[in-house]
Structure 1
């Protein structure tokens, strides 16, 4: 099974973010272990369930299901697409597709970025659960961003 298969994507849960109240999505512990800074990693409680908050207006990235822990973008090794509007922020963490690169590619005749990413996914090369802060496949984010470029 690969990280982008439908059966392996995170599911929305009925646990609301303690900071903004939005429903979160389950995230695997391996995601936190891969992306939290070392000093923060020392504080995780492996028996907890962890949840990703995708709300762009919320400073919380991860929180524990029992709300005993909250982690913000400053606790991670990299910026979070949903929380950071920078053009150098990855939309696809596995294959280096930033907002800037997607914008540049949209104005060319090259194969669409989503199609290029799909080839890598089908070849078993993605590692979203350890590279992407949301812990799930980025193709939805890539497609939505590219649609937004075309609408402008």
Structure 2
């Protein structure tokens, strides 16, 4: 949830208050939500807030993926990788047990932080810098969300 009004305070929660969906990050004025009949908020939600059921379902599904362990890449995908490698004359010495995992960039589990740090390092090594006009490096923003 975010409010961009400079005169906002929790005590002055009103129709001008702007909140963000915790999944899609679309902005909504509380007054517009009230007028459209989508939601009648009386105060800032204490937990997550979603603009619709679909965003809530997506959030729950992603959280379930993030909390599960590494998933094996299906054999059919591994076979396609092997074919591509053979077509390009690359060694077929890659691992046959490639795994994937969705991580939450806000996770504080040490093993997650290590994996996220490795991902950021791979992006920096393999791609040209991604820098915003402000000079901010966007790779950590992308990796850590």
Structure 1 and Structure 2 fold alike (TM over 0.5) = no
Kindly indicate which of the two structures has a greater share of residues assigned to strand.
1
Higher normalized contact order (CA 8 Å, seq sep 6+, divided by chain length): 1
TM-score normalised by L of structure 1: 0.26
TM-score normalised by L of structure 2: 0.26
Kindly indicate which of the two structures has a greater share of residues assigned to helix.
2
